Amino acid sequence: MKKQGNSSGTIAVFSFPLPSRSNYALLANLATILSHVYDKVIIVTGDLISAFPHIIDDLKPANKSRIFIYDLRVKLPSRDRYVPFITKLFIFIKIQVYIVTASIRLSNMIKSALFFIGIPHMLPLILLLRLMKKGS
């Protein structure tokens, strides 16, 4: 009989949602590798679903049944267009709140966490997960 809450084979990958398709491609490649090592790979980032048409080829060799996506549905605005500073600040704070909330919701499911892209922007999350003994 399987224990409930067994999270030994589960890893969460936290990636700050920066506006770059190449970041999503790198994340897809990492998820592909981890899907062959862990029972569950939970990817926490923003706006990944909209990037799927661009990264679908990177996920072909993945064990897709092991990859789960927690999409924050928000990302920083692109640098190609002008966005007022106050708007960028509001979006940044919103991302921080969403990513910390996601980590709290997922904390009893995961044993370890991996921080991938945008690590300097995730300092509050890193501190929280270290206090919960989940960060690696």
Q: Domain limits of the chain?
A: 10-131
Answer for the pair 55, 25: CB distance below 8 angstroms, yes or no. yes
Rounded to whole angstroms, how far apart are CA atoms 99 and 115?
12
Rounded to whole angstroms, how far apart are CA atoms 63 and 100?
27
Provide the 10 A C-beta neighbour count for residue 30.
18
What percentage of the chain carries pLDDT values higher than 90? 47
Q: What pLDDT sits at residue 136?
A: 54
Answer for the pair 82, 33: CB distance below 8 angstroms, yes or no. no
Q: pTM, whole model, 2 decimals?
A: 0.85
Topology of 10-131 in CATH? Rossmann fold (3.40.50)
Alpha carbon 39 to chain centroid, angstroms = 17
Give pLDDT tens digits for 67-118. 999 999 998 888 888 999 999 999 999 999 999 999 999 988 888 898 998 8
- The answer to whether the Cα torsion of 98, 53, 115, 67 is positive or negative is positive
Rounded to whole angstroms, how far apart are CA atoms 59 and 56?
5
